[in-house]
A and B are shown apart, each in its own frame.
Chain A
Amino acid sequence: MLKLLIEKELRDAFGSTKFVVTFAVSAVLVLLAFFTGAQNYHTQRAQYEAAVAESMRGMEGLTTQEYMMLRPLALLAPEPLAVLVSGVSNDIGRTTEVRGQGMLVAEGSRYSEQPIYAAFRILDLSFIFQVVLALFAILFAFDAISGEKERGTLRLSLANAVPRGTYLLGKYLGAFLAMTLALAVPLLLGCVILQVMDVPLSGADWGRLGLIVIGGMLYLGVVLGLALWVSASTQRSSTAFLVLLVCWIVGVLVWPRASVLLAGRAVEVPSRDAIMAEINRFQRQQFEESLSSLMDIIPRESGEDGPSAEAIEEFQKRQQELADAREAEGSAFRARVQEDRINRLRVQEQWALRAARLSPATTFSLASSTLAGTSLAMKERYQESTLAYQEAFDRYLREKSGSSQGGGIRIMLRSGDEDDEPEELINLQELPAFTTQPVLFGDVMGHALLDFGLLLLFNLISLAGGFVAFLRYDVR
């Protein structure tokens, strides 16, 4: 019986122009998203590699006397999945100038560099699912019950020994299957495009992409369930459509924005400027102190040739000790000042996202960006990577030059006789290379689990609502 109902739904779907048109459009969109995504990835990759090369070239020609002037850039590498689910990947800074010590600030988000894309944004897979396909799912299922009633076929069907639950389930599964089948082909073709265009995806990446699609289907399931529910709660399909359209506007376009804007504003977070100013002030103070303390230990010139080599070494050692002490002091101060802000940001984020998740569209969006590694965690991941790199870089510096870049002021001393020695260049090969922490499959899965659970729950709720409404439906 259920099979028969599903079969009929499928045949009904594939025979209707509405379905054919909507899915032709979505097929084109999905293919376009994959194609432009792959192209974007390559463009970004090329730009990234050029930037890395340029940054190396910028450091070429520094001599071993000039370790203090090394400023390697920690550049955020493009990730293949980020072009399919852009998340916040275009909103966060991608370039960090790394010093051995001190605060690091990422600069230059893609949108800030190219505001034209910020104005129009990007067509990616998650947008297609979240906005366009959801609308199509509504278009497809809004008259599932009320339409059959208007056509009179509902009476005819229910004049048979068909349990209503089975009937509704048949509708739901039939619609779901029809959409899955219609999307399967363009999605598979999209994967082929990724392969053909040499987008480097590892096994785990494919797994994540698969999960993103599954998440998308779950989300469409919620939309279908909701459409059935509304359809089973209204007598006329035009009313059902109106209600669903309003639901779509609110759930997809408005709620995510409004909830984050309102809930986010409800938690007050001190501005970054205030914190930066405080840190600046502290640093300036440190700087002045360090100047005077250095003046005290600076070796007096012992003759025509300047200070002796031993004196310089002694001075360097003292200087490094002072610098380390100041750096420790400085980073403790920064941590203290920033901690409160970070905690508040966390709370703000929690509230905003909790509120936002009331809409399945948001839940899906969060799940997909988590899986793609482009959620808010991306920023943290990058930050942590740069901090880790900073440590490695600092270690490298101490090893090579015996001193760090932190701790306020530095005085470079040269003894006169060194001048004649041929200058040796820094071997940049030995400079530690920056890598971003990889997105760990288990990690993101763990984070996305909540959203997947929520999507399932939304499915169940909408189906249950549909059942209750349909059991009481007036089929006359």
Chain B
Amino acid sequence: MTTTTTQPLLEAEHLTKRYEDGVLALDNVSFTVSPGQIYAMLGGNGAGKSTAINLFLNFIEPTDGEARIDGIASHRDPLAAKARVAYVSEQVRLYPSFTAIQNVDFFARLAGKTSYTREDYRQALLRVGLQPEAHDKRLKGFSKGMQQKTGIAIAILKDAPAILLDEPTSGLDPKAGREFVRLLQDLRDEGKAILMSTHDLFRAKEVADMVGIMNQGRLVMQRTRDELHGEDLEALYVRYMAGYMEG
């Protein structure tokens, strides 16, 4: 598992975001994610992870720099950029009056995938670990984790070259968490470029090909899997957070 040197799919270049109220949420951040690579963005609450992902999706405009998907700057041509990326939000909540299948169907079609059959939807839902008896139930009674799984299935079905995951494991039980890690690895092997924000150090270390630590809007450390090999990520994390505080 080596980092490829082909054209990166997700690129952040001098990405800077200052909110209207003056908060500098991202401060000149640059990184790239190539096909077949998982990039784990680590950082505490308010570090700026979601801000970065929102910039890729053009939910907000960058103050400076740009976020590119497959070479397309998100804020220049948002529709083209968004056609090439799938997204799982921090807290997936779907249409409560729809069944899981109906939800998945709607979002798949919205993504332009019209050729899927019901069976495909079932497969995808099974793949993310949603029990078959829940497929035709309305989402009203779903737990947080079940909704999260449905959300991940939606992302898989979009079959986009890049995937953005904002703290996707929140709300998943340990077993589901483990299955999720395996799923991510499969997706990577299919050649997807995956950007995942998380504060779960353990999982990050397990799957990530590249790890970046963010603190107060800055990318304070970035290591490849190989570079990390012998090191204790936890210690590094604590040190960088603390070091930044002092500096």
Chain B residues positioned under 8 Å from A156 (CB to CB): 87, 89, 92, 94, 107, 151, 154
Docked Cα-Cα span, A159 to B107, in Å, equals 10
Q: Tell me if A161 counts as interface (CB < 8 A to partner B).
A: yes
Chain B residues positioned under 8 Å from A151 (CB to CB): 93-96
Given A4-B106, A4-B109, check contact A159 B97 (CB 8 Å).
no
Chain B residues positioned under 8 Å from A152 (CB to CB): 89, 91-94
By the criterion CB–CB under 8 Å, are A158 and B107 in contact?
A: no
Stretch among B76-84, B167-175, B181-189, B237-245 lining the A interface: B76-84
Chain A residues positioned under 8 Å from B82 (CB to CB): 158-162
Chain B residues positioned under 8 Å from A159 (CB to CB): 57, 82, 85-87, 164
By the criterion CB–CB under 8 Å, are B151 and A161 in contact?
A: no
Given A4-B106, A159-B57, A159-B82, check contact A153 B95 (CB 8 Å).
yes
Chain B residues positioned under 8 Å from A4 (CB to CB): 106, 109-110
Docked Cα-Cα span, A15 to B158, in Å, equals 25
Q: Tell me if A265 counts as interface (CB < 8 A to partner B).
A: no
B97, B98, B107, B110: most-surrounded residue (chain A CB, <10 A): B110
By the criterion CB–CB under 8 Å, are B110 and A155 in contact?
A: no
Chain A residues positioned under 8 Å from B57 (CB to CB): 155, 158-159
Q: Tell me if A16 counts as interface (CB < 8 A to partner B).
A: yes
Contact with B along A158-183 (1 / 0, CB 8 A): 11111100000000000000000000
Selected contact of A155 from candidates B59, B86, B98, B138, CB within 8 Å: B59
Within 8 A of B (CB), among A1-60: 1, 4-5, 8, 11-12, 15-16
Which interface class (under 10, 10 to 19, 20 to 34, 35 or more) fits A?
Answer: 20 to 34
By the criterion CB–CB under 8 Å, are B80 and A12 in contact?
A: no
Least Cβ distance of A317 to chain B in Å? 87
By the criterion CB–CB under 8 Å, are B154 and A476 in contact?
A: no
Least Cβ distance of A421 to chain B in Å? 89
Docked Cα-Cα span, A8 to B106, in Å, equals 7
Q: Tell me if B28 counts as interface (CB < 8 A to partner A).
A: no
Chain B residues positioned under 8 Å from A1 (CB to CB): 110
A156, A162, A475: most-surrounded residue (chain B CB, <10 A): A156
Least Cβ distance of A152 to chain B in Å? 4
Chain A residues positioned under 8 Å from B154 (CB to CB): 156
By the criterion CB–CB under 8 Å, are A12 and B85 in contact?
A: no
Given A155-B59, A155-B87, A156-B89, check contact A11 B80 (CB 8 Å).
no
Docked Cα-Cα span, A368 to B182, in Å, equals 64
* Chain B minimum-CB-distance residue to A163: B79
Q: Tell me if B60 counts as interface (CB < 8 A to partner A).
A: yes
Chain B residues positioned under 8 Å from A474 (CB to CB): 59-60
* Chain B minimum-CB-distance residue to A157: B110
Given A159-B57, A160-B158, A476-B60, check contact A153 B110 (CB 8 Å).
no
By the criterion CB–CB under 8 Å, are B59 and A158 in contact?
A: yes
By the criterion CB–CB under 8 Å, are B110 and A162 in contact?
A: yes
Docked Cα-Cα span, A161 to B86, in Å, equals 10
Chain B residues positioned under 8 Å from A158 (CB to CB): 57, 59, 82
* Chain A minimum-CB-distance residue to B81: A161
Docked Cα-Cα span, A1 to B112, in Å, equals 8
Q: Tell me if B102 counts as interface (CB < 8 A to partner A).
A: yes
Docked Cα-Cα span, A152 to B88, in Å, equals 11
Docked Cα-Cα span, A12 to B151, in Å, equals 18
Selected contact of A12 from candidates B60, B93, B97, B107, CB within 8 Å: B97
Docked Cα-Cα span, A4 to B111, in Å, equals 11
Q: Tell me if B54 counts as interface (CB < 8 A to partner A).
A: yes
Chain B residues positioned under 8 Å from A476 (CB to CB): 50, 54, 59-60
Docked Cα-Cα span, A476 to B83, in Å, equals 18
By the criterion CB–CB under 8 Å, are B59 and A475 in contact?
A: yes
Given A156-B87, A159-B85, check contact A12 B98 (CB 8 Å).
yes
Chain A residues positioned under 8 Å from B60 (CB to CB): 474, 476
By the criterion CB–CB under 8 Å, are B107 and A160 in contact?
A: yes
By the criterion CB–CB under 8 Å, are B83 and A160 in contact?
A: yes
Chain B residues positioned under 8 Å from A162 (CB to CB): 79, 82, 110
By the criterion CB–CB under 8 Å, are B89 and A16 in contact?
A: no
By the criterion CB–CB under 8 Å, are A161 and B94 in contact?
A: no
* Chain A minimum-CB-distance residue to B94: A153
Chain B residues positioned under 8 Å from A161 (CB to CB): 79-80, 82-83, 111-112
Least Cβ distance of A116 to chain B in Å? 44
By the criterion CB–CB under 8 Å, are B98 and A11 in contact?
A: yes
Within 8 A of A (CB), among B176-235: none
Least Cβ distance of A268 to chain B in Å? 53
Chain B residues positioned under 8 Å from A12 (CB to CB): 95, 97-98
Chain A residues positioned under 8 Å from B50 (CB to CB): 476
By the criterion CB–CB under 8 Å, are B87 and A157 in contact?
A: no
Within 8 A of B (CB), among A267-294: none
By the criterion CB–CB under 8 Å, are A15 and B98 in contact?
A: yes
* Chain A minimum-CB-distance residue to B110: A160
Least Cβ distance of B55 to chain A in Å? 11
Chain A residues positioned under 8 Å from B111 (CB to CB): 160-161
Contact with B along A122-165 (1 / 0, CB 8 A): 00000000000000000000000000000111011111111100
Binding site for A on B (CB under 8 A): 50, 54, 57, 59-60, 79-80, 82-83, 85-87, 89, 91-98, 102, 106-107, 109-112, 138, 151, 154, 158, 164
22 interchain pairs, CB-CB under 8 A: A1-B110, A4-B106, A4-B109, A4-B110, A8-B95, A16-B97, A152-B92, A153-B94, A155-B87, A156-B87, A156-B107, A156-B151, A158-B82, A159-B86, A159-B87, A159-B164, A160-B111, A160-B112, A161-B80, A161-B82, A161-B83, A476-B59
Given contacts A8-B95, A151-B93, 6 further A-B contacts (CB under 8 A): A8-B106, A12-B95, A151-B95, A151-B96, A161-B80, A161-B111
**Closest 5 pairs (CB-CB, A-B):** A15-B97, A161-B83, A159-B87, A152-B93, A161-B79
